[in-house]
Chains A and B, each alone.
Chain A
């Protein structure tokens, strides 16, 4: 089956997400759709999957124009998509999730024994160790992805679209996925891999198409291409000023100490986490998504109650059991998922920038100099659009990230805790945030940096720890760090 997207254009308000993109692929091909965050890759594929309608242009299957106006239509046409944010239902079992998506599921669900596993053929092939009776909430992220893949293959999809599949996987799981993709392609299906990682392109794909700011700027075989070649095409002309590495601090005296911290409930927990960060040190934490990073970050920042242990800053215990009472002045905190955890979405940008500093205003509210400060912050951190009266919820993900950074990464700080601070940002903005974040280390603050990007961690952090199922499995220095060891720790292998 040959699929051709022809002249696809899509606008969202003022943003041109896709600009006259023409792209095709045939059976057995693995195409990597490469581009920075915000380049339009996801949008293009969502149009192919029927989530959005293109403003102009069309889709041809085997030379004939087709109308794909809904996911159902896409599935009927043989196109399946595995999303970055999975469409699984955590409270239901693996088996139930598969049955939900299967077109032939019977009206009366099969009970134990005979017939119960007839629909599980594909899943068993992909993940033989996965217990179909397990609740999806309890399985690992890698297994969830295989479940999603099984759903798509159950529908006998001829075109399989994978949206940033390796971003949630450990290095070992990534290799397994590459093998799987190869196998699927050899069966005669076409695979599109949406990614911003060079490794995906170089190792797995036959062809690479590069999107930059909505336009297709390259479409060629991926053979022989190096990471630098790809970077050049992806980013285009103009140099990106990369952040500089910060020298390790001279003194190893701990400034920020975490001792035996435990917290959490049935939905997730961390236990007995201990480490120390010196003043001026960048302490990186790597781990598969869902290993407890968000809980740990909340505990470190004093936002969440501890069930055990304590957090010590400059020799003084700042957080110990009971309810969180955050030390707002000394601690900068960028939580994960800024929309839910760091902003008041229906209030404007000005309020959001000052909500931790309300006490400096008079009782009968007058904003005074805050307006000028707001304008300056929005400018410095490149938050778009620059309108301070706009509600925070109206900002795009990347701009929201910048807004939160503007609030947390200004002013003197003794500790900065950043959890996925560059999520959704393009390379230029990412480096800008890095510069500000690491500047705090240069000034002597302790920086705790939780990231999903192992390469960046290994390049910039002074020490790297790995968290798995709520526990720190091991810590290495920048010099000692190697991908394989870290990758194994990320999957739970003992240190």
Chain B
């Protein structure tokens, strides 16, 4: 019973920890589906985290914070779109530039936000649910952002596989050339992909600062955006597989945080490497599978394989 409660606790707090990552993962999945890679999601997430937090401090309303954060992320993604789609710059280089800009701007303006505290979301009144055995004690880990993330997961899946526009997106990611001969405009679709990715990564950043940590520190995303880019490959560009992929990261993090309580006497810094190493390991596995079974959108494969 104790073990059950512990595991449920890890899973649920893992879910909570995975939530900001899940937003970015969904966003980058959408972007890569149209054949564009955006390493700048790390910067978009940072800017969203700062803007969302600042908005919540000012208005006192966490929902406003989420909206502002999403908007900030989307605005920053316009830079990536303009460079890559408008000016034909290299996707990776532009991503790094956007990452730097987002990180720099958020760190620069975020000075005033360091040390501020907010209340975040009002806890969901679970009522009777909180008394369910095993899961009950940890159910307060589920916050509104978690619900929203899960809903978005289903929504993006539906969009990609069940709508005509989603079909166009997938077609453009496979072969922009073939798509254009059928009258689709690839550039316009790619812009949509980039902006959607910007919106979601900004939202993810805001979820991180407004809901998860409820504070602001510069560079607080600690590479989550980059991890998301890696996990997109693991999730095989399928939004529905994004949840387990994000959970992998989240539960690893939740587990390492609990190691101390378990009496494991390993340096927290070494434990801190685990999420990154797990991500790397899964990335390698994902690559090996993609190599032998395919799954990467064709045009995107050209982007990853092309050098410079």
Contacts and interface: CB of A to CB of B under 8 A. Distances in A.
A91 B292 contact: no
Interface in B147-202: 161-165, 167-168, 170-171, 174-175, 177-184
Per DSSP, chain A at the interface is: loop
Interface centre among A91, A101, A265 (most CB of B within 10 A): A91
B293 interface: yes
Given A100-B171, A109-B164, A71 B181 contact: yes
Interface in A88-136: 88-92, 96, 99-101, 103, 105-109, 111
Given A109-B162, A109-B164, A266-B292, A92 B171 contact: yes
B293 A266 contact: yes
Contacts of A111: 162
A72 interface: yes
A349 interface: no
A75 interface: yes
B167 A96 contact: yes
Contacts of B214: none
A101 B297 CA distance: 19
A182 to B, nearest CB: 27
A108 B292 contact: no
B294 A266 contact: yes
Contacts of B178: 87-89
A267 to B, nearest CB: 7
Contact of A101 (B174, B182, B291, B294): B182
A92 B298 CA distance: 11
B174 A267 contact: no
Contact of B183 (A71, A91, A106): A71
Contacts of B181: 71, 83, 87
Nearest to B291: A265
The majority secondary structure among interface residues of chain B is: helix
Contacts of B292: 265-266
Contacts of B164: 99, 105-109
A151 B181 CA distance: 12
B294 A107 contact: no
Max count, chain A CB within 10 A of own CB: residue among B167, B180, B291, B297: B167
Contacts of B170: 91-92
Contacts of A99: 164, 167
A89 B174 contact: yes
Nearest to B170: A92
Contacts of B171: 89, 92, 96, 100
B201 to A, nearest CB: 26
Contacts of B180: 71
A75 B161 CA distance: 27
Interface string A249-271: 00000000000000001110000
A111 B164 CA distance: 12
Contacts of A83: 181
Interface string A133-153: 000000000000000000100
A75 B182 CA distance: 9
A110 B164 CA distance: 9
B235 to A, nearest CB: 16
Given A100-B167, A108-B163, A87 B294 contact: no
A351 B131 CA distance: 75
List 10 tightest A-B contacts by C-beta distance, closest first. A87-B178, A89-B174, A101-B182, A72-B183, A87-B181, A107-B164, A266-B293, A91-B174, A105-B164, A100-B171
20 contacts: A71-B180, A72-B183, A89-B174, A89-B175, A91-B170, A92-B171, A92-B174, A99-B164, A100-B184, A101-B182, A103-B183, A105-B164, A107-B163, A107-B164, A108-B162, A108-B164, A109-B164, A109-B167, A265-B292, A266-B294
Interface of A: 71-72, 75, 83, 87-92, 96, 99-101, 103, 105-109, 111, 151, 265-267
Given A87-B181, A99-B164, A105-B164, 10 more contacts: A87-B175, A87-B178, A89-B178, A89-B179, A92-B170, A96-B171, A107-B164, A107-B165, A109-B161, A266-B292
